Amino acid sequence: MKLYHIFGTVLLLATPAMAQDTAAVFAALDANHDGKISQAEAQKNAAVLQMFAQADKDHDGFLSKAEFDAAFGK
């Protein structure tokens, strides 16, 4: 059941109606406002944390806005 919840949340973020909200989610997770999300910052959102490694395409330990958008929205 938990797995369905995580993927449901990811699907919600990925739908066109919710795509505009990815900017708000990114901003909320980027606690230090450095323009990227660390794994520690991602812990505030179970769906983002679950997909963090897959979304981090350059494997630098952070999600850039572009990586976040590619994985969860736009």
Q: Is residue 24 a contact partner of residue 37, using CB atoms and an 8 Å limit?
A: no
Neighbours of 50 (CB within 10 A): 17
Query: Tens of pLDDT along 17-54?
Result: 455 589 999 999 999 999 999 999 999 999 999 999 99
For 2-72, CATH number out of 1.10.3210.10, 1.10.150.120, 1.20.200.10, 1.10.238.10 equals 1.10.238.10
Whether the predicted pLDDT of 11 surpasses 70: no
Residue 9 has pLDDT above 90, yes or no: no
**Residue boundaries of the structural domains of the chain:** 2-72
